[in-house]
Amino acid sequence: MSEPSVRISGTVLASLMFQHVNSDSDVEGLVLGESSFHEQVTISDSQSDHIHIEEIYNIQKHVACLKLNILYSSSGEVNLDVLQEMLADNKQDSVIGWYRQRRHSEQHMTFREKLVHDKLKSALKNPHMIFLLLTSSRVTPTDSTHRMEYSAFTSRSRRFVNIPVLVTNLGLLEQQGYWKVSAPCSASGYSLTMNKHGSRFFSPSGLLKEVDEMNKMNDSLQVELQKACREVEESERAVEALQLEVSALRKSLREKQQSSEGKVPGTSSPVEPRNNQLLLKAVRALLGSCPLLLTQRLSLQACPVPSRDTMAADSDREQEQPALLQDGRGTKQRGALQGRGRKRRRNNC
């Protein structure tokens, strides 16, 4: 599916309008320029690729007919002699269409314009031709404001369709996408400059020189990237092997430990923490009677409350032998003494 469009610079369009404004009647002539066809590939989520052809007709100049209806007959037959005369200097290849300017008429092709367009295509052997139509009309009754409308047509399957016209000034006004081709220009000065300085920037293949260097750098980068990827992969594999080895060793160690614990009986019960009674006795003996080193608790009535250690030391002296042998009974007795001690405290205060 092709998408045709017409590009015309502001100066060319203005010159067409100027010619029409200064003419007493309708004006017609040929438009010269170049047509190009570009293949656009659009990738979207819905389909892998969408290819459409973009037809661009770039109007660069126009050649007006000296008189109306001189280029064709009343039935639309093109006068080849007049056509050749208009297209001096072999400009036939640069003809991309023709134009007509009418006042106070609609933006539709007329009967004869359709006939002439088809005949012109055959005469110039160019199946892709455009017809540019400019119509002017008076907007206000006082002639203070006039409207100039323009549109382009092309024929598709014996039907004439309207195609968009874009007016370019110094460059394309489109802001989207990348420029894949430069703006066409047929000026001789432009061609001379490009021929003179082009070899500094362009390689023989027509591409910019930097493009080749960039491609080479990109290739080198790709090689380094691949090397790094390989190294990472190798290290990852080594890590994985080591992890397997470690887990295997842990497993075997655990099994060994389990098997060694199973041979010794009675050692399965947890070891209870044991008080160092000898040390306790020694500390009490040295420091237990020193009031400066004793902390005292006071009751609400400010009476000192004998500490538990003091009471425990007394009870230890009484039950020294049995405490060394059986700690469980000692604990019980201690608790009973404490209870008695509590009672005593109550009585004292």
Instruction: Give the footprint of other proteins on this chain (CB under 8 A).
Output: 21, 23-26, 67-69, 74-76, 102-106, 108-115, 138, 143, 159-160
Closest contact distance (angstroms) between CB of 157 and other proteins is: 11
| Cα distances (angstroms) measured from residue 189 to each of 34, 57, 193, 194, 217 | 18, 22, 6, 9, 36
d(CA 109, CA 100): 10
Closest contact distance (angstroms) between CB of 133 and other proteins is: 11
For other proteins, the closer CB: 162 or 191: 162
For other proteins, the closer CB: 68 or 244: 68
Does residue 90 contact residue 31 with C-beta atoms inside 8 Å? Answer: no
Could you give the residue ranges of the DSSP H alpha helices within the chain?
Answer: 10-21, 80-86, 111-124, 188-201, 209-261, 277-287, 308-318, 320-325, 327-348
d(CA 59, CA 32): 6
For other proteins, the closer CB: 7 or 103: 103
Closest contact distance (angstroms) between CB of 73 and other proteins is: 8
Q: Shortest CA distance to 132 belongs to which of 146, 144, 120?
A: 120
Closest contact distance (angstroms) between CB of 167 and other proteins is: 25
For other proteins, the closer CB: 62 or 119: 119
Closest contact distance (angstroms) between CB of 96 and other proteins is: 23
Other residues' Cβ atoms within 10 Å of the Cβ of residue 286: 10
For other proteins, the closer CB: 107 or 277: 107
Does residue 316 contact residue 281 with C-beta atoms inside 8 Å? Answer: yes
d(CA 25, CA 100): 11
Which residues on neighbouring strands pair with residue 156, listed in sequence order?
159
For other proteins, the closer CB: 99 or 330: 99
Closest contact distance (angstroms) between CB of 173 and other proteins is: 31
For other proteins, the closer CB: 151 or 277: 151
295, 300, 305, 308 alpha-carbon torsion, rounded to 10°: -80
Closest contact distance (angstroms) between CB of 225 and other proteins is: 56
User: In a 10 Å sphere around its CB, with 0-12 CB exposed, 13-18 middle and 19+ buried, how is residue 134 labelled?
Assistant: buried
Q: Which amino acid is at 303?
A: C
